Amino acid sequence: MYYLRPASHLMALLLIFAFVINSCQPVKEERPNVLWIVSEDNSPFLGAYGDEFATTPNLDQLAARGILYHNAFSPAPVCAPTRSSIITGVYANSLGTHQMRSNYPIPENFQFYPALVKAVGYYCTNNSKKDYNTIDQETAWDESGNKAHYKNRKEGQPFFHIYNFGISHESSVHKSIPNEELRHDPEQVPIPPYHPKTPEMKHDWAQYYDKVEDLDTRVGEVLEELEEAGEAENTIILYYSDHGGVLGRSKRFMYESGLKVPLIVYLPEKYQHLANEKPGTSTDRFVNLVDMGPTLLNVLGIDIPGHMQGKPFLGANAPVLDKTYGFRGRMDERFDLVRSVRDKKYRYIRNYMPHRIYGQYIEYLWRAPSMKSWEQAFINGELNETQSAFWKQKPAEELYDITKDPHNVNNLANDPEYTDVIQRMRGDNIAWQKEVMDVGFIPEPMIERLTKNKIMYEYMRQGEIPFDRIIETADLATRKEPGLLKEIADGLNDTNPAVRYWAVVGCVINYTEAMEYKAQMTDLTQDAEVAVRIVAAEALYNLGEKEMAVDALIQALENEYEMARTMALNVLELMGEDARKALPATKALLENASKKNSYDVRAAQRLVEKLETAAVVPTLAG
């Protein structure tokens, strides 16, 4: 028998004691790495989502090992306002950063979320797109650029890394690839019912599926790289797209095709407790991309700032939501204002500029051959009713049963059977606008002026503006319902310029009833707020005062604010030949422009092109 010596016996007791003490201490959980893989401009065109035409083996395999989200949506159907929402955790229409490619400021204490992750010791890298639609916070990332990589971190340091791939971006179909080089057959590609089957449309769709396949290949390389680095089982992976897309009526538009995005979450075994769902399953839990930052913070145990409006969908106490919201503002050189509410069965859309057609010309969008072919087919009278709707004015409200109508072509808004649904979702929409203090109802020329010395998020909350009155006026003014104008017209004399603006918009939309307010429209072309002057000119044009209207818009072309000039050019273009008097002023704008690709320049170039080629354009009241 072996006996311990006294010293050895003592050492053994000490070892046993140390073991017992250590076993009673809570085990500190290893901090996960987090990898986001972001694609651009694509809806859920993946095999994992049931798209049999797609070639996406790597993403399909990731979904098979992870969680597939069926109700993931972007807050806006375009990149910059969505990315503004993601980086701040606040809806861009609440911040005033909702207009495409604007640069309006946000509150100084609203840190971009990666700065909060850096503060707890993570190495935060972004490769490489920002496009935050506001003033950049350059120290938010440890590295941001096309060389940024998690491998540059200190040994043992956890990382948060974003790969952003533009492979499937809209620009991928601007240059046409010969048919014989395409891997996806244009004659077999699925075409949504709102698109005509022109050769260009079929080709662009097939080429786009090729680009999604290329994206998938790149995702496979990233996942293999992670494996080789020995970090695969230490890393939480999220794949998503920044919004839907990419062909006409998807990106930029408030349908499933523009707002619904793919989202796959992979959790290694030791982190699977962070989700309610099991690996290899799917969920109908609602996610909005504004939730991404709060979710990351929640997963890492970092307190979510109180101003963030997004909600975590992973980690402790993640709420289960029953609806989500979306917004659209100005898209490049064209003004629009749309809001949307989506629950598990219906999508409600509220158009606040129903007097404009869906298919307003946007220079960048028109670079796709499919867009030109679609427009030409409409001009030629070759489209059916569903395909033609894009080229006509919008209804004030739209309602779609997603379960029966995934392409959103059968508008149920005026169907008596759905009265309760539309009233409920109409109320949800207005309640959300009030909750976030929606800056979109302030005309952008006014925002551009105010942000010289104000921050819109703060301005909306300081009690300086009658927000409820603005919302109410905008709602009544844009309903396209006979008999409302007398109620709307009370706002023509309001002390607040945004209320006056919407009251005048009501006269533009309801121009057949607006003759008794003609004198007021004339006076309002001299209003202190340029946005009011512009819409008053539009109203006067519809009331037959064409020369007076054009003169007022020519004056607006000399305004110091780009968005005022752009708005005036939008109206002039719709006047067709009647706008010819503005041609010298428009050319002068082009000659004197300091930025040759600004939005007023793009709109001016289009107006000159139309007038000098005598192109046929619809009239404002048409």
For the stretch 137-146, contacts whose Cβ atoms lie closer than 8 Å and that sit 24 or more positions apart, written own/partner, are 137/111, 137/112, 139/115, 140/87, 140/111, 140/112, 140/114, 140/115, 141/114, 142/118
Burial class (CB in 10 A: 0-12, 13-18, 19+), 177: middle
Q: Give me the mean pLDDT over the 425-440 stretch.
A: 98
The enclosing H or E element of 150 equals none
Which pTM does this prediction carry?
0.94
Q: Is the peptide bond before 128 cis (omega within 30 degrees of 0)?
A: yes
Residue 422 has pLDDT above 70, yes or no: yes
What is the pLDDT, as a whole number, of residue 30? 83
Longest Cα separation, the chain: 116
Per the annotation, the verdict on 507 as an active-site residue is: no
* pLDDT value at 26 more than 90: no
Cis peptide before 246 (omega within 30 of 0): yes
* Mean pLDDT of the 100-129 span: 98
**pLDDT higher than 50, residue 617:** no
| Calpha distance 511→540 (Å, rounded) | 9
What are the tens digits of pLDDT across the range 521-532?
999 999 999 999
Structure tokens at 132: 């935050």
Nearest partner of 447 among 435, 458, 455, 438, judged by Cα: 455
The pLDDT tens digits of the residues spanning 151-185 come to: 999 999 999 999 999 999 999 999 999 999 999 99
In sequence order, the β-bridge partners of residue 154 are none
Q: Tell me the residue length of the chain.
A: 622
Mean pLDDT for the chain overall = 94
- Distances in whole angstroms, Cα of residue 309 to Cα of each of 163, 379, 545: 25, 44, 46
Nearest CA to 394 among 351, 340, 362?
351
Tens of pLDDT along 555-567?
A: 999 999 999 999 9
CA separation for the pair 575, 611 (Å, rounded): 10
DSSP 3-state assignment of 325?
A: strand
Calpha distance 605→115 (Å, rounded):
41
Tokens of 240: 């998503």
Quote the pLDDT of residue 614.
64
* % the chain with pLDDT above 70: 94
Residue 100, helix vs strand vs coil: coil
Which residue, 181, 192, 208, is CA-closest to 369?
A: 208
Helix (H) / strand (E) containing 285: strand 281-288
Please tell me the predicted confidence (pLDDT) of residue 19: 40
Catalytic-role residue among 24, 79, 124, 507: 79
Taken in order 458, 463, 465, 471, is the CA torsion positive or negative? Answer: positive
pLDDT-based confidence at 21, cuts 50/70/90?
Answer: very low
- The amino acid occupying position 268 is P
Helices 546-556 and 530-542, packing angle to 10 deg: 160
Nearest to 103 by CA among 143, 130, 70: 130
Whether 328 and 337 have beta carbons less than 8 Å apart is answered as: yes
> Model confidence at 29, in pLDDT bands (50, 70, 90)?
low
Average pLDDT on 476-505 reads: 96
Report the Cα 337 to chain-centroid distance in Å. Answer: 12
Beta strands in 343-497 (DSSP E): 346-351, 397-401
The tens digit of pLDDT for each residue in 243-268 reads 999 999 999 999 999 999 999 999 99
Q: 618 pLDDT exceeds 80?
A: no
For residue 426, give both structure tokens.
């109409």
Q: In sequence order, which ranges of 400-545 are alpha helices (DSSP H)?
A: 419-436, 444-450, 456-459, 467-477, 485-488, 497-509, 518-524, 530-542
One-letter amino acid identity for 372?
Answer: K
pLDDT digits (tens, 9 = 90+) for 385-416: 999 999 999 999 999 999 999 999 999 999 99
